[in-house]
Amino acid sequence: MKIYISADIEGIAGVVDWKETEKAEADYKPYSAQMTREVKAACKGAINAGAKEIWVKDAHGPGRNIDIDELPKMVRLIRAWSEHPFSMMQELDASFDAALMIGYHSGAGTDGNPLAHTFSSEKIAYLKVNDQLADEFLINTYTAGLAGVPVVFVSGDETLCESVVNFNSSIKAVATKKGISNSVISIHPDEATARIKAAVQEALDEPNRKLCKVNLPSGFKIEINYINHAQAYRASFYPGVKQLNPNTVLFETDDYFEALRMFSFLL
Ligand SMILES: [Zn+2]
Ligand 1 midpoint to CA 170 (Å): 25
Ligand 1 midpoint to CA 166 (Å): 22
Residue 85 has a pLDDT of 98
Residue 156 has a pLDDT of 98
Ligand 1 midpoint to CA 38 (Å): 15
pLDDT 10s per residue in the chain (267 long)?
999 999 999 999 999 999 999 999 999 999 999 999 999 999 999 999 999 999 999 999 999 999 999 999 999 999 999 999 999 999 999 999 999 999 999 999 999 999 999 999 899 999 999 999 999 999 999 999 999 999 999 999 999 999 999 999 999 999 999 999 999 999 999 999 999 999 999 999 999 999 999 999 999 999 999 999 999 999 999 999 999 999 999 999 999 999 999 999 999
Ligand 1 midpoint to CA 155 (Å): 13
CA gyration radius, the chain:
18
Ligand 1 midpoint to CA 69 (Å): 21
- For ligand 1, an ion, list residues with CB under 5 A: 8, 10, 60
Backbone angles phi, psi at 180, to 5 degrees: -130, 110
Ligand 1 midpoint to CA 207 (Å): 31
Whole-angstrom distance, CA of residue 127 vs CA of residue 239 = 19
Whole-angstrom distance, CA of residue 27 vs CA of residue 50 = 36
- Pairing assessment for the beta strands 172-180 and 183-186 based on DSSP bridges: antiparallel
Ligand 1 midpoint to CA 180 (Å): 19
* Closest-CA residue to 259 (of 129, 164, 133): 129
Ligand 1 midpoint to CA 257 (Å): 22
Ligand 1 midpoint to CA 60 (Å): 4
Degrees (nearest 5) of the Cα angle 218, 219, 222?
150
Ligand 1 midpoint to CA 61 (Å): 6
Maximum distance among all Cα pairs of the chain, rounded to whole angstroms: 52
* The residue type at 209: R
Condensed to tens digits (0 to 9), the pLDDT of residues 181-235 reads 999 999 999 999 999 999 999 999 999 999 999 999 999 999 999 999 999 999 9
Query: Given CA atoms 134, 176, 195, 4 in this order, what sign does their dihedral have?
Result: positive
Whole-angstrom distance, CA of residue 65 vs CA of residue 20 = 12
* pTM of the full structure: 0.97
Domains of the chain: 2-117+136-211 (3.40.50.10780), 220-266 (no CATH)
Ligand 1 midpoint to CA 22 (Å): 10
Print the SS3 string covering the chain. Answer: CEEEEEECCCCCCCCCCHHHHCCCCCCCHHHHHHHHHHHHHHHHHHHHCCCCEEEEEECCCCCCCCCHHHCCCCEEEECCCCCCCCHHHCCCCCCCCEEEEEEECCCCCCCCCCCCCCCCCCCEEEEEECCEECCHHHHHHHHHHHHCCCEEEEEEEHHHHHHHHHHCCCCEEEEEEEEECCEEEECCHHHHHHHHHHHHHHHCCHHHHHHCCCCCCCCEEEEEEECCHHHHHHHCCCCCCEEEECCEEEEEECCHHHHHHHHHHHC
Ligand 1 midpoint to CA 171 (Å): 21
Whole-angstrom distance, CA of residue 217 vs CA of residue 208 = 21
